[in-house]
Amino acid sequence: MGSCSIRVSLVAAALAVHIAAPAQAARIDYTVDAGVEHDDNVRLTPVDADSQRILRAGLGFLVTQDGSAVQAAVAGRADYRDFQGGLDDGVEGMLSAYLNWVLLQDRLSFTVQDELELQAIDRYAADAPDNRQQVNVLSAGPNFLFDLGSLHGRLEARWIDTRAEVTDEFDSSRVGAALRLTREFDDRSRLGFNAQWTDTDYDQPLLARDHQRTDVYARFERQQAHIDYAIDAGYSWLDYADGETRDSPLLRLEAGWRQGERNRISLALAYQFSDAADQALVDGAAGRPEATVPGGVLVDGGAIVPSVYRLQRAALAWDHAGERFGLRTEAYAQRLRYVDAFVPDEDDRGLLLALTYRLAPSVTLAGWADFEWIEYRQLGAEDEARRIGLSLEKSWTRHWSTSLSYYRYERDSGVLDNEVRQNVWYLWMSYRNRPR
């Protein structure tokens, strides 16, 4: 993990925890765990698999605050792995932090958001330990609030810093501003107008093109007894430093239907410009309704490339939360059309199935399956990945538990013309400061 990413993330996390922790309403949850893992193909090679025993230890935490002066959600995880040989021992981490500090009530606040992720170095290769890098996106700036009759206004200014441990062309400094006007018709519906601008300056302009992006759109939100939805409609412009310009409609829909308290169907549609840094902030702590203590450090599926792309995405999900049985299914399809010709376009499809079943008051069985297909259009090749997992957890007390898990990974690469198979067993013990 690069020292720059560590430094920036720790500063953001320390700031958020320092401000949020002293407040009476602040809540701190954490989990400490340690165990032993057996991996029959730790390097994820198609031939001559390297089987190893790995000692592991981890710490996950969540700090939340929802007060009049501070609103914060800081979720983080650090995992240490001790390999038998051939691979460097080390720590991998993730952090998703959001902090809004109210300086003047209803007039001025300051927002910090930090997203530290684990990403692939080579997007076409398998998720081996030596194909990972830490990537950090930090955003900070003030918010000025005002009223214009029945309209509520918000003026934002942002400085955004993006850093990758290995992929240097991703490194950039960005400045941005946004104007948002909102009118509330009642407690359940509102209409807003948004205009936002970002100027991106890459550290290596020979590998990535500096540009400005402007988005103008209207947003309508409504919540009903069983249905809620939000619609964005507008337009976007890209102006590159070399004189090239691009433009595109901006359309987004997020909708949900609740059948009682236990079932929800969600639909998300998008047609817009985006990039890796922008998507990291959108998917971070500020965009999630409920943050949880991270259970592991996972490699994000996105590609760390500096190019802007036109995103077309559709996702449909169903969640069921029963007293003993829980289920989540999600299917998605998306197209990524990169503005820069050196990055191949993608057509992606995916399917996720996850379930939990409480066999007894202290015993829980969980399983999940994830299938992904990525077609690289200019390369004329497709990668297919299949992940299947199963775990059994036994709670001995309100704080202590042990778990045994099995993980199967299969990857068929049309780009590299190879096949990779992996089986992982993991036995561990964990301590939670708060019972589930």
Q: Which residue has the tokens 């240097």?
A: 168
Dump pLDDT digits (tens) for 71-90. Answer: 999 999 999 999 988 888 98
Output the CA torsion 270→275→276→279 (10° steps).
-40
Burial class of residue 164 (count of CB atoms within 10 Å of its CB; 0-12, 13-18, 19+)? buried
Kindly state the average pLDDT of the residues 348-365: 96
Of the pLDDT bands very low, low, confident and very high (cuts 50, 70, 90), residue 16 is low
Q: Compute the distance between CA of residue 33 and CA of residue 431 in angstroms, rounded to an integer.
A: 6
Looking at residue 400, its pLDDT comes to 96
pLDDT in tens, 255-301: 999 988 899 999 999 999 999 899 888 877 655 656 788 888 777 66
Q: Which two tokens stand for residue 100?
A: 């809004």
Poorest-confidence range of 30-39, 123-132, 136-145, 370-379?
Answer: 123-132
Of the chain, the percentage scoring pLDDT greater than 90 comes to 74
Write out pLDDT tens, residues 147-161. Answer: 998 999 999 999 999
Percentage of the chain exceeding pLDDT 70 = 92
Tens of pLDDT, residue by residue over 318-340, are 999 999 999 999 999 999 999 98
Segment 166-177, tens digit of pLDDT: 988 999 999 999
pLDDT of residue 436: 73
- Render pLDDT for 192-246 as a digit per residue (tens, 0 to 9): 999 999 999 999 877 789 999 999 999 999 999 899 999 999 999 999 999 999 9
On the CB side of 41, CA atoms within 13 Å amount to 19
pLDDT in the model for residue 342: 82
Q: How far apart are CA 373 and CA 126, in angstroms?
A: 14
Contact between 150 and 156 (Cβ < 8 Å): no
- The whole-chain average pLDDT of the chain stands at 90
Give the per-residue pLDDT at 300. 63
In eight-state DSSP terms, residue 343 is S
